[in-house]
Structure 1
């Protein structure tokens, strides 16, 4: 159901402080913690002594200590010590490649030999002081691809988010879908409309009039395995829309990292990055609060959708033109998973001629 030879966001950096963090990723129960010099480590959440969850333990001098009998585990999955016991014959547990970057913890649950940190997508807003970011985490009881479908087709905003970002002009406007390399892009550009409540507030926050017509855009970019970045914004009408100069618009990137937990649940890391008033902490908090409410509306719909699909597995879902972004994203994932299932090619020795 999900590819494993790829990087997933497992948590935010501030989730791992003094205590270890247990989290299931792609069906693997993993404990994350800070080892020597604060470097993040990730091992199987299973003590080789009695099977206790290591995430219920603690960290001492860079070693993960089991909270049951005091076994000390190294970040390579090897047992280091245990009070009063000789540990040479203790079995190893699995360790996972892990990288801390852009304020997130990234984990690779597949073949360790393929875990190249350079494959982590560059986030241009994450290390730029001209941008601010605020976000959160939801645990959602639906398979991760349903969330990708949701984010690659924003038609639902008119109905689910009618009081904040939705408006009838969204589903009345055509959507364009294209594939560029390993990216699926869907986009809408809507001209000469009034801004919905969320964007009216954003205009005011940037000292722009909120009672005049605007041009609005939504550009959704999916990159495997499950990352969706959505460029959104409004500009005073007649100033170029998406290409308007900064003094005429407010624009942001909706950040979505969707990490599978099981076949029917996922971790949803959501947020918004903006390049206006980046030092305004109160504005960041306000946007985070509003965005959190918006995404909670998605959660209820998606979880109940999942229940329906589980109850009626024989029913085939319809695919319309608005679903093209989700369809193309799923095809890309299917190709990744099929490639993982292929056996490694075995080189055939070449006979040497006499």
Structure 2
């Protein structure tokens, strides 16, 4: 259903600032919290005493205390104490590799021995003062693969987002799909057009005439298991597009991380990293608000799509050239899942 030996975004640091967080990831109930010295830890959300949810407990001296009977667990899933009880013989519960990096907490839900922190996607803009970032989180009742399809084919913008980022020139411009290393890339360029309302806002912020003719670009880059980073922007027409002088362009990266909850629901971490006016906090808030409204429109479409897919299970769907990016991304995910299923189990090895 989804690759397990991979890094997913589990949460943002603020979600575990004051108490444990329970979150289902790849079908696994998990509790995340800050343990000793502020280091993030992740365990099964299951108390080995009576099966209570550890996420309803609290953090005490860097350990996780169950809120039902006070059993205390360390970050490795071992019971360390309980009032008036001996717990040394309690079986360990499962712990998961986690890393805090680039403003996110990442988790590896598969084989812990295979976790390699160097495989976490690099986000060079995250710690760069020339960039600003604002984002949010949605819980969406649809497969994370439907969101990947949505992000790898931006043709829908002309219809779903007609009052913000959509415009007729989108579906009048050809889409190209290719592979770059381990990424699937879809691209679309529009030349000598008037920018849509969302990008006119950016042009005004950059001191540009929002009615000037522009060249617009969209490059969606999928990296398994659930990352789509989209290079987007506009530049004054004829000035070089994405390579234009920064003073003559408005350039951003739409940040999308999809983390499966179940086969028909996921956590969607979204945002925009922009390479203009990085110190303008009001602009960051304005863009985040606008982007949040745009993504809420996608949410309604995608949840209805999932409902329809459930109701019409097995119905053959059409595949067009605009779907190539999503098709290749899903094929890549299928290959990863198949490869994991082909691995020998511990029982088979023994």
- Bin for the TM-score computed over the shorter chain: over 0.9
Give the alignment of 1:198-217 within 5 angstroms: 198-217=198-217
Please list, as runs of the form range in 1=range in 2, the aligned pairs for 1:1-354 lying within 5 A after superposition.
Answer: 1-344=1-344
Give 1:344 deviation, angstroms: 3.4
User: What do residues 186-233 of structure 1 show as CA deviations (whole Å, max 9, x unaligned)?
Assistant: 000100000100000010011111011110000000000010000000
- C-alpha displacement of 1:180: 1.7
Query: What CA distance in whole angstroms lies between the structure 1 residues aligned with 2:336 and 2:182?
Result: 11
Structure-2 separation of matches of 1:275 and 1:312: 44
Q: 1:287 offset after TM fit, Å?
A: 0.4
Report the secondary structure of 2:315's partner residue: coil
Count of aligned positions = 346
Q: Matches of 1:10 and 1:267 in 2, distance apart?
A: 9
Residues 110-144 of structure 1, C-alpha deviations (whole Å, 9 max, x = no match): 00110010111111111111111100000000001
Unaligned regions of 5+ residues in structure 1, if any? 347-354
Query: RMSD of the alignment, in Å?
Result: 1.0
Structure 1 distance, partners of 2:17, 2:127, is 21
How many Å separate the matches in 1 of 2:239 and 2:110?
A: 48
Residues 25-76 of structure 1 deviation map (CA, whole Å, 9 limit, x = unaligned): 0000000000000000000001111111100011011010111111101100
Distance in 2, matches of 1:46 and 1:163, equals: 46
Stretches of 4+ moved more than 4 A in 1?
none
Q: Any stretches of 5+ residues in structure 2 without a counterpart?
A: none
Q: Using the TM superposition, give the Cα deviation of residue 345 of structure 1 relative to its aligned residue in structure 2, in angstroms.
A: 9.7
Task: Give TM-score scaled by structure 1 length.
Answer: 0.96
Change (3 A) 1:12 1:275: same
State the TM-score, normalized to the length of structure 2: 0.98
